[in-house]
Amino acid sequence: MADDRFPGWHGTTILAVRRGGKVVVAGDGQVSLGQTVIKGTARKVRRIGAEGRAVVAGFAGSTADAFTLLERLEKKLDAAPGQLMRACVEMAKDWRTDKYLRNLEAMLIVTDGTDLYVITGAGDVLEPEHDVAAIGSGGNFALAAARGLMESDLSAEEVARKAMAIAADICVYTNGNLTVETISK
């Protein structure tokens, strides 16, 4: 049964590709309100955490909700430096059980250059298969394209950029104005 409070994501595509000792996280810049494009240059991928901004995170969903979650994740990272999985699990627990947080409508992709996780409000901390993860309204398009491109000799960034271009051509809630962050361990 579908949850009517969580109607699905309309307005972004975030893609992460792990290859060659690097993880690239790419996000489009489109913000939509219903059928209208409000902004085309939003930055939905950013570096967080201490240690020289040691984690890259991308978000889909409500911007205010995502910023709240990113702040919480940063606090968890400060409490458990260098332990991304632990910080993600602790934040996911809070997200699921806290009366305020459980109403937040967003999803996150986070990486420290080695580990790669998708975090959801259902309490999931998922490590994707095939070294590719995607979220948002165009996420499935970008995911399918990236998985196909992983059979090529392209770099992680080239795979991410080409897959995001394919998603932007298909999904009306995704544009080609990308923010791309690369991180390695």
Catalytic residue list contains 114? no
Euclidean distance between CA atoms 185 and 178, whole angstroms: 23
Euclidean distance between CA atoms 132 and 18, whole angstroms: 6
User: Both tokens of residue 164?
Assistant: 């995001």
Q: Under a CB-based contact definition with an 8 Å cutoff, are residues 89 and 80 in contact?
A: no
HSE-CB of 179 using CA atoms within 13 angstroms: 19
Q: Under a CB-based contact definition with an 8 Å cutoff, are residues 113 and 23 in contact?
A: yes
In sequence order, which ranges of 19-155 are alpha helices (DSSP H)? 50-53, 63-79, 84-97, 139-149
Residues β-bridged to residue 45: 58
Q: Catalytic: which of 12, 13, 111, 174?
A: 12
Euclidean distance between CA atoms 30 and 173, whole angstroms: 7
- Please list the active-site residues: 12
